[in-house]
């Protein structure tokens, strides 16, 4: 860190210093070329940031572009999706005013934190000198005069600071960069910018704003850990690899594919890891866990060793510990030691790509036994037939989610990317979507955030403008957050959005009934009998936001509309009504959702008995 007061200095306001510093950060892309680390700053201005950050961003708009959204949460979700689609090589900042503008970022901060994504939050804050205290939108804590709504960011930030003097940036900004670029500790950082301090000036060392190049750090595994894991794999008769999001963040997909092919080890994928393997790779066995393929879940039950790569093994992946680790010995290869030790695993701490390369060298000559290879191939053949059947168009009056995604998958082809988040769609997509290459599948299922889909699609399109981005969203999520649909039109970043209208929250309605509950407060039909009379014309709404849009009937109509959407010159929305009831029964695994111990409903009592039977198979620890 440069020492203040030594050498040449430049006088900037604190806000100007933040912007200049961010604009000076550089990164190395996967192809070896240099590029800006921060590609832009999302901003909605208010009294807490318009004068300080607004003036600073205007002065640096050629080196740090400003993007304007319509909702603070939507902007931040787009920034998180951008970082994910960039494999964390590039990122964005987000600035807001104080009060509600700042608090609107919190959900997106949770998304970024859970998914280990670098986003820099720059919320405005109250006056550091407190002369006009309290100010408009300021929260007052009767027991803590230093508190503001921005304290809420602490549990959802990897690094948090409140800037109360401009020279504090000399210490704080390098720490921000450490949090945002560390592969093991990566996540969002929050700098709360007191609005008076934003405008205050300081003589900063010139060297503080010199360009700095950030490279992806690839720590190797401890040699002893590596040797132990190599020995375990050599002794395995039925090994299985579980690929997580860390495979993609490490850009290790090609290495994993080669590793699996050479050693004949089947590979299952988590939600975050899906697309690491082409769906038709000889060792690809599909998704695993609650939304898993029958092939992957069967192999997990039979495996004697599971090598989990770059995954935190949350409950949807492990089937609430009823699927993984099962009876197998579990090895966790992860750049974060925090994750490598979970579930009683044998830890292997290191970068996924580098460590797989080193592990492959240590396993020279090893391949899984032919009987295991044939077992995996047979299960995959059966699974692929089930996928074909589930996604076939059929002639139902209202199509299923599976049939709709089959049509979208066909339209997307190998060059498209699907984007989705919460509800029933992620389960169907995890099982049934056929990914051809890394980055063709973008699901936010760490936080399962409703409202992510459209904003997230915009972030993906900003990161990958060469790809067609296919957003799949239910009517519930669409109504929750759709404003960035217009932002995509305004920015000229075309999205192809399919709205699946099942008239309510179909996924939770199914879960409610599976737990013995009566249908209640989810589907419109169970909320208010008059709701269907005032239901939304989604196509008309999308057109009002500047998109092209149409409503279609049936899969044939959807297929034709998607071709029109691909040919369109701007964001295109296709609305199709779907059946809220059916879901693909093939595959799947148990998920621990607690059922009431006492209820007058017989259905709940039956569900409770089934729940207790399932819990008996659940591993602990």
Residue 113 lies in a domain: yes
| CATH at residue 273 | 3.40.50.1220
Range with lowest mean pLDDT among 181-185, 323-327, 464-468: 323-327
Q: Are residues 307 and 164 in the same domain?
A: no
User: Could you tell me if 250 and 348 lie in one domain?
Assistant: yes
Q: Among 394, 412, 416, 390, which Cα is nearest to 402's?
A: 390
Average pLDDT over residues 228-236: 97
Q: What is the predicted pLDDT for the residue at 516? A: 87
Interval 5-17 mean pLDDT: 90
pLDDT value at 7 more than 90: no
User: For the domain that residue 465 is a member of, what is the CATH number?
Assistant: 3.40.50.970
The DSSP call for residue 466 is T
The reply to whether 584 falls in a domain is: no
Domain's final residue, options 543, 562, 577: 577
Question: Does the pLDDT of residue 83 top 70, yes or no?
Answer: yes
Considering the domain boundaries, does residue 598 fall inside one? no
44 & 153 share domain: yes
The verdict on 35 and 53 lying in the same domain is yes
Question: How much is the pLDDT for 1?
Answer: 47
Question: Of 321-330, 484-493, 517-526, which has the strongest mean pLDDT?
Answer: 484-493
Q: Which residue has the higher pLDDT, 418 or 514?
A: 418
Domain identity same for 166 and 243: no
Same domain, 451 and 376: no
**CA dihedral (131, 137, 143, 149) positive or negative:** negative
Select from 167, 185, 214 the last residue of a domain. 214
Higher pLDDT, 444 or 4: 444
- At 532, is the pLDDT very low, low, confident or very high (cuts 50, 70, 90)? low
Q: Residue 496: pLDDT above 90?
A: yes
**Same structural domain for residues 200 and 264?**
no
pLDDT of 505 strictly over 90: no
Radius of gyration (C-alpha) of the chain in whole angstroms:
25
Same domain for 192 and 53: yes
pLDDT computed for residue 506 by the predictor: 82
Share of the chain above pLDDT 90, in %: 84
Q: Which domain holds residue 447?
A: 392-577
Q: For residues 52 and 193, is the Cβ–Cβ distance under 8 A?
A: yes
Asked, for residue 124, whether it belongs to a domain, the answer is yes
Give pLDDT, residue 530. 63
Does residue 32 sit in the same domain as residue 81?
Answer: yes
Does position 6 have pLDDT exceeding 90, yes or no? no
Domain final residue pick, 333, 353, 383: 383
SS3 content of the chain, % helix, strand, coil (to 5): 40, 20, 40
Residue 2 pLDDT > 60: no
Evaluate if residue 620 carries a pLDDT over 70: no
Q: What is residue 535's predicted lDDT score, i.e. its pLDDT?
A: 87
What is the Cα–Cα distance from 397 to 245, expressed in whole angstroms? 38
Does 427 map to a domain? Answer: yes
pLDDT of residue 3: 52
DSSP state of 518: P
**Mean pLDDT over each residue of the chain, to the nearest integer:** 94
377 with 405, same domain: the answer is no
Confidence of residue 512 (pLDDT cuts 50, 70, 90): confident
Q: What is the mean pLDDT of residues 185-196?
A: 97
**pLDDT grade, residue 621 (50/70/90)?**
low
Q: Is residue 610 part of a domain?
A: no
Distance CA 107, CA 68 (A): 19
Backbone angles phi and psi of 240, in degrees to 5: -140, 135
Question: Per residue in 36-68, pLDDT tens?
Answer: 999 999 999 999 999 999 999 999 999 999 999
Q: Are 322 and 429 found together in one domain? A: no
53 shares a domain with 141: yes
Preceding omega of 127 cis (within 30 degrees of 0): no
Q: What is the DSSP string of 136-184?
A: TT---BTTBTT--GGGGGGGG-SEEEEESSGGGHHHHHHHHHHHHH-TT
d(CA 36, CA 231): 43
Give per-residue pLDDT as tens, 564-602: 999 999 999 999 999 998 898 888 888 888 999 999 999
> Does residue 582 sit within a domain?
no
Indicate whether this model's pTM tops 0.85.
yes
Task: Provide the number of structural domains found in the chain.
Answer: 3
Contacts 24+ apart (CB under 8 A), 57-62: 57/19, 57/95, 59/16, 59/19, 60/16, 60/19, 60/20, 60/23
In a domain, 329, yes or no: yes
- Residue with the bigger pLDDT between 394 and 314: it is 314
Residue 531: the pLDDT is 62
């Amino acid at each position: 860190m440069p020492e203040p007061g030594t050498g040449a200095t430049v006088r900037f306001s604190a806000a100007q210093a933040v912007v200049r510093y961010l604009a000076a950060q550089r990164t190395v892309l996967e192809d070896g070329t240099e590029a800006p680390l921060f590609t832009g700053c999302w901003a909605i201005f208010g009294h807490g940031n318009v004068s300080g950050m607004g003036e600073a961003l205007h002065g640096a708009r050629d080196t740090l572009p400003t993007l304007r959204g319509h909702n603070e949460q939507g902007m931040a979700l787009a920034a998180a999706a951008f970082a994910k689609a960039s494999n964390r090589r590039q990122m964005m900042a987000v600035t807001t005013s104080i009060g509600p503008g700042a608090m609107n970022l919190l959900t997106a901060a949770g998304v970024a934190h859970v998914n280990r994504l670098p986003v820099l939050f720059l919320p405005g804050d109250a006056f550091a000198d407190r002369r006009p205290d309290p100010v408009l939108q300021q929260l007052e804590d009767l027991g803590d005069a230093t508190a503001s709504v921005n304290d809420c960011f602490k549990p959802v930030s990897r690094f948090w600071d409140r800037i109360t003097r401009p020279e504090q940036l000399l210490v704080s900004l390098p720490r921000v960069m450490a949090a945002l670029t560390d592969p093991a500790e990566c996540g969002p950082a929050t700098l709360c910018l007191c609005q008076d301090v934003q405008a205050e000036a300081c003589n900063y060392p010139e060297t503080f704003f010199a360009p700095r190049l950030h490279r992806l750090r690839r720590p190797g595994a401890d040699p002893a850990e590596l040797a132990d894991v190599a020995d375990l794999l050599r002794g395995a008769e039925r090994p299985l690899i579980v690929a997580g999001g860390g495979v993609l963040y490490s850009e290790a997909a090609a290495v994993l594919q080669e590793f699996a092919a050479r050693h004949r080890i089947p590979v299952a994928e988590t939600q975050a890891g899906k697309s690491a393997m082409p769906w038709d790779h000889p060792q690809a066995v599909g998704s695993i866990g609650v939304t898993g393929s029958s092939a992957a879940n069967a192999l997990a039950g039979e495996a004697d060793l599971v090598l989990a790569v770059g995954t935190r093994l949350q409950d949807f992946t492990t089937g609430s510990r009823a699927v993984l680790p099962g009876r197998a010995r579990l090895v966790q290869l992860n750049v974060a030691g925090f994750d490598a030790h979970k579930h009683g695993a044998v830890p292997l701490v290191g970068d996924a790509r580098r460590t797989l390369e080193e592990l492959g060298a240590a396993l020279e000559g090893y391949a899984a036994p032919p009987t295991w290879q044939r077992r995996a191939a047979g299960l995959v053949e059966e699974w692929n037939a089930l996928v074909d059947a589930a996604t076939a168009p059929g002639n139902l009056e209202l199509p299923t989610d599976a049939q709709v995604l089959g049509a979208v998958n066909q339209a997307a082809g190998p060059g498209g990317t699907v984007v989705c988040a919460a509800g029933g769609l992620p389960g169907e997509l995890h099982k049934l979507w056929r990914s051809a290459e890394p980055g063709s599948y973008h699901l936010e299922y760490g936080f399962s955030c409703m409202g992510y889909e459209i904003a997230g699609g915009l972030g993906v399109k900003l990161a990958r403008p060469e790809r067609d981005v296919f957003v799949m969203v239910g009517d519930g999520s669409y109504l929750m957050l759709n404003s960035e649909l217009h932002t995509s039109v305004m920015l000229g970043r075309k999205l192809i959005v399919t709205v699946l209208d099942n008239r309510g929250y179909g996924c939770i309605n199914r879960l409610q009934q599976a737990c013995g509950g009566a249908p209640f407060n989810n589907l419109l039909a169970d909320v208010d009998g008059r709701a269907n009379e005032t239901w939304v014309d989604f196509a008309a709404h999308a057109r009002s936001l500047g998109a092209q849009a149409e409503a279609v009937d049936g899969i044939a109509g959807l297929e034709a509309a998607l071709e029109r959407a691909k040919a369109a010159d701007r964001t295109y929305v296709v609305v199709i009504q779907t059946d809220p009831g059916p879901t693909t029964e093939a595959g799947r695994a148990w998920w621990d959702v607690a059922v009431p111990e006492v209820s007058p409903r017989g259905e709940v009592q039956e569900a409770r008995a089934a729940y207790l039977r399932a819990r008996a198979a659940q591993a602990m620890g």
